[in-house]
Structure 1
């Protein structure tokens, strides 16, 4: 159980806002912390059959049908993001002037002598807003391709559209591209009658060359006319030329996983054992908290939907609820998500400096509401330091995951294994088995003692028993883990360095963008272009003149995660990174561990993060049960005065907000409350 006052030793003591904050405890109950993944389309990944009601659900029946999208960067105030392309005018999303400029751009495309190559639609810092811009522009103008050069979106004519429009009518080309963009499973599109076999062959070849992985085409004759019908492939993958049935290893099944009090990797290990596949056969977009109720998308290879359905009841007994089980065409990729939505309850609220005096309903209006309002408004306006949260470093109190990662980066396989098996205090079976291994080097006996639920430890002990405990055997032990588990440890080390760098940057260079800082590129500068929402940020080094002019804000400043492709700041922070890595013996590190098939290119992480779609409310907890009282029809930003508990009623805070991927709700709470969690 996480109580207030627990030391967040992985997070440096540095804040952005200076409000007083308050104390409280989180995760008293599993259902106090609900995490729902937001997919790349901006939709929440929820279990359709799960009876979970989000604390952010408003009793106002009109709240869901009110403005679905605002011009500001916080795209929506609703709990759910509409999965279908909005039908309202583009000026609502882009603004009147940009919308008119886009219309004019489209009109000039046909005149190749005067047409612009591309048009900037502006910068959209919020991912939800960007996703809606991409979706709506392509729906309105299917012949355009939208390109993200974060945070800017640009449009240009899709060359595939131009090629197709020379083979079919423009109306057919537009309709076809809308059909492709929608990707509705089981749907098809039929072109107009075409009696020229040579022309039909050209269309077939175009489809195969440009969209072969997504669609299949066939010519059908009906009443003397012939037309081409295009169907989305059932699994989204090209069929075998031999016509044979797809082999088992090519079967992919997607599902939504709802889990309670389980690590993502622990849940995967259990499901893999029950299904007779490897943990590496499971793919996912992100790892979710252990002590929480979490919803996320997953894909498993080599397991049919029917077989997964048959195992669902068994998994449910272990705290895993599987829903929306269906065949899919490909695995998921790590990081392939927009972010996460959080529904959090903070209990035992009190001011800093108090220990047992809790706020009652009698004085909540005069003190607590004021503190909460100030804190939330500050964080909404200014954001928070984008630290990696404690869960990034593992739950162990003896050896943190970043220490293991450092040993792996030094290619000290034996040392990394021994750090991995460092036991906790106490004599629980898990620690006892670890202690036995370190004392005896006997992997076989330690494996017999290791609890069945400890999948990672058991995988490594099996390999150590087979290959020995020397350097080569330890390398094989690490290779026995799925890649996502192996790379977790070096990433933990790099995350530790990033956290320290963020604190040092704010302490020494302050809360302004400084010369030599790395920032997002501004509009108008040359950029390396990449399509879609997966493009890397384009890096610009702040000049002295730009610092003096205040051309960039602190929220635009980036810090690199150490790796072999990143650029470091060209100020005192660049020197700091060099000295920090050298202190750990990594001054010549290539951030590759070839023997473990690990490559760490690094990345750029914004110094600050900001929650979106933020809501909060104060209300009473039922005495003795810990339940959150609901039923209020008042605004989420109003204090619920119907406590029903009198002076004995303890107030709780309910928070609902979205964060981008790799941002941590516990760090956001830390900034709000001004205390470690």
Structure 2
């Protein structure tokens, strides 16, 4: 049941007792192909292949696979709807994922950063900076929106086709009445123009001062907003909301129509992260990354096919950019109009095609036989392994990708620091470098040694979007507690919540290993299982508490349930834990990390971790395999064997974990 060598990220507990074999994966990018399966059960590549050869042509006849890192178990926290009388704010869309370095170019982006520092330090009157010329009107619109969101105290002015920036005098006037961070957040609120949204300033018990703020807001923005004071727990604050019909400018019929356009497409990408691909497309189309929606994140080191929807871009305009995208390793097909965006987790699963090369037995003595004997032995090992997993499945661990790659600090340790609300330590863990002198590690090492975010930003590669967003915020707000909090807030919510989920995933993996090693493969009293006839998951891959049943003594005696029905909770604030020794294990495990009283909420970062229930076992569907000789032109008995595997997995299941059960080692 256990291997001698324990994996760094994944406990070495297995369900089957076959011998397995050795081999290597990810030798070539063509060895890994992952294709999303939509909610109707269709592979998105199947339709795309009829329209354009795309990435499929670059694969040749190879069949391969990669792990799909769907965040379908990642629950996003959303603010509840509130009334105007409550004085609470409606959440505004996060635009921080937009990288000005992508659309402006690195040199102009750095020049803009320096311009901002000069404004802050010296406050010279009339100072302006040219951002360059932009002939495409969509690019100009994108520059305006992104710059104003990043630096709300700036005005952007178009002198076609040039865009210039200078300090906004309205901002300067407001910043003399309220705190700088409140002024910035208010201008972001104004610029976002989210219908029904509101913004609340901090408590202000000085009536004369509140009156001055009211007068300023009504004088400058009276056609757009309305203001009111309200009391909460003895403190008085000013709240501002957008008028139902108020707009700062009249939009044309074409602009109003464009706001409601949604265009769907199938994206094939090679050696690109999903968010990196979106950043490139957003810059080229003149929209924001938040205008793109998708069902799941896919691996970088792979050829992947997935569905996407982009807002405010017509199918014709998207097709016009396809040749530009191809130069970045992205191919688009099945471009068509749709009526709504995609939602995270809205997929059935993923289809994997993978190649394992250089097969050999675990036992060194077997390799001393003749080539033909070794091949015969390997064929028997592979058949036994594949048939076992096809029948019995595999332990449904979260894969190594969940915890990060390289020798640096694992993502779960960052998540633990965030759950403990230790923002400074979380930032320093985030910037822990790998061994080596690659540019990213050098930049991280420089930051930890000097605390100089500005210099580290110059060293950080442009492709490292998360690190660059964090460094920009640290440079702007400092490296203290407040600055580190702002640095985390600079990341989009989906990125921030990844780290607490990584910690919870680590605990889940350890819980499953403990459950199997101490309680065996039988269902025990107190285990949590699917309700009979109630094994439906939500679109996010989670199971609601109403579907959970606690196994009784009678259930255990009559063997009503099998191990495949058992669920293990991923820690959070809405889950129940097993009512047996595993419940105690969870309590002790969380206490050991200082989370005995954890609410699994980080209010300062707007993070909520409700938890979920994950099946202990996963089963591959439509599993097939083929053994073949190596790639040499003339086959010989000494050629190494390669194994081609094809199978489907439910969303949030990892192909490398399935392969691990087959091979009985970390591939």
Flag whether TM exceeds 0.5 (same fold): yes
Cα shift readout 1:345-393 (whole Å, capped 9, x = no counterpart): 0100010023994998723663121111110111011100000000111
- Check 1:595–1:303 CA distance in 2 against 1; reply closer, same or farther (3 A cut): farther
Per the normalisation by structure 1, the TM-score is: 0.65
2:263 to 245, 253, 256: 253
Q: What is the Cα deviation at residue 561 of structure 1?
A: 0.8
For residue 638 of structure 2, what is the aligned residue in structure 1?
648
Contact kept? 2:5, 2:12, Cα under 8 Å: no
Please tell me whether residue 567 in structure 1 is matched to residue 566 in structure 2.
no
Secondary structure of the equivalent of 2:347? coil
Question: d(CA) in 1 for partners of 2:375 and 2:271?
Answer: 35
Please tell me whether residue 585 in structure 1 is matched to residue 588 in structure 2.
no
Question: d(CA) in 2 for partners of 1:668 and 1:528?
Answer: 22
- Check 1:564–1:546 CA distance in 2 against 1; reply closer, same or farther (3 A cut): same
For residue 673 of structure 1, what is the aligned residue in structure 2?
663
For residue 536 of structure 1, what is the aligned residue in structure 2?
543
1:389 to 396, 399, 402: 399
- Check 1:354–1:272 CA distance in 2 against 1; reply closer, same or farther (3 A cut): farther
Question: d(CA) in 1 for partners of 2:276 and 2:427?
Answer: 19
Q: What is the Cα deviation at residue 546 of structure 1?
A: 0.8
Q: What is the Cα deviation at residue 325 of structure 1?
A: 2.3
1:658 to 610, 633, 648: 648
For residue 35 of structure 1, what is the aligned residue in structure 2?
34
For residue 306 of structure 1, what is the aligned residue in structure 2?
316
Q: What is the Cα deviation at residue 506 of structure 1?
A: 0.3
Contact kept? 1:517, 1:541, Cα under 8 Å: yes
Cα shift readout 1:265-299 (whole Å, capped 9, x = no counterpart): 33233333444444333221111122211111122
Cα shift readout 1:416-444 (whole Å, capped 9, x = no counterpart): 11111111112221111111111222222
For residue 14 of structure 1, what is the aligned residue in structure 2?
13
For residue 225 of structure 2, what is the aligned residue in structure 1?
none
For residue 24 of structure 2, what is the aligned residue in structure 1?
25
Secondary structure of the equivalent of 1:41? coil
Unaligned runs of 5+ in 2: 63-251
Please tell me whether residue 50 in structure 1 is matched to residue 53 in structure 2.
yes
Contact kept? 2:541, 2:651, Cα under 8 Å: no
- Check 1:358–1:568 CA distance in 2 against 1; reply closer, same or farther (3 A cut): farther
- Check 1:301–1:475 CA distance in 2 against 1; reply closer, same or farther (3 A cut): farther
- Check 1:410–1:311 CA distance in 2 against 1; reply closer, same or farther (3 A cut): farther
Contact kept? 1:249, 1:302, Cα under 8 Å: yes
Secondary structure of the equivalent of 1:378? helix
Contact kept? 1:25, 1:349, Cα under 8 Å: yes
For residue 424 of structure 1, what is the aligned residue in structure 2?
434
Superposed CA RMSD: 3.0
Question: d(CA) in 2 for partners of 1:531 and 1:263?
Answer: 26
More helix by share: 2
Please tell me whether residue 316 in structure 1 is matched to residue 326 in structure 2.
yes
Q: What is the Cα deviation at residue 466 of structure 1?
A: 1.9
Question: d(CA) in 2 for partners of 1:649 and 1:375?
Answer: 22
Per the normalisation by structure 2, the TM-score is: 0.66
- Check 1:253–1:359 CA distance in 2 against 1; reply closer, same or farther (3 A cut): farther
Q: What is the Cα deviation at residue 648 of structure 1?
A: 3.2
Question: d(CA) in 2 for partners of 1:529 and 1:605?
Answer: 12
Unaligned runs of 5+ in 1: 59-241, 625-643
More off after superposition, 354-363 vs 27-36? 354-363
Contact kept? 1:361, 1:651, Cα under 8 Å: no
Question: d(CA) in 1 for partners of 2:593 and 2:335?
Answer: 46
Cα shift readout 1:466-505 (whole Å, capped 9, x = no counterpart): 2222222222221221211111111111110100001000
Number of aligned residue pairs: give it: 471
Q: What is the Cα deviation at residue 340 of structure 1?
A: 0.5
1:556 to 565, 576, 581: 565
Contact kept? 1:270, 1:455, Cα under 8 Å: no
- Check 1:348–1:307 CA distance in 2 against 1; reply closer, same or farther (3 A cut): same
Please tell me whether residue 458 in structure 1 is matched to residue 461 in structure 2.
no
Contact kept? 1:270, 1:453, Cα under 8 Å: no
Contact kept? 1:37, 1:296, Cα under 8 Å: yes
1:486 to 476, 493, 496: 496
Question: d(CA) in 2 for partners of 1:36 and 1:530?
Answer: 21
1:368 to 378, 399, 405: 378
Cα shift readout 1:136-169 (whole Å, capped 9, x = no counterpart): xxxxxxxxxxxxxxxxxxxxxxxxxxxxxxxxxx
Question: d(CA) in 1 for partners of 2:301 and 2:541?
Answer: 29
For residue 348 of structure 1, what is the aligned residue in structure 2?
358
- Check 1:55–1:468 CA distance in 2 against 1; reply closer, same or farther (3 A cut): closer
Question: d(CA) in 1 for partners of 2:537 and 2:563?
Answer: 25
Question: d(CA) in 2 for partners of 1:268 and 1:319?
Answer: 12
Secondary structure of the equivalent of 1:246? helix
Question: d(CA) in 2 for partners of 1:364 and 1:501?
Answer: 38
Contact kept? 2:541, 2:652, Cα under 8 Å: no
Secondary structure of the equivalent of 1:646? coil
Q: What is the Cα deviation at residue 262 of structure 1?
A: 2.1
Q: What is the Cα deviation at residue 532 of structure 1?
A: 8.5
Q: What is the Cα deviation at residue 403 of structure 1?
A: 0.9
Please tell me whether residue 599 in structure 1 is matched to residue 602 in structure 2.
no
More off after superposition, 304-313 vs 654-663? 304-313
Contact kept? 2:542, 2:612, Cα under 8 Å: no
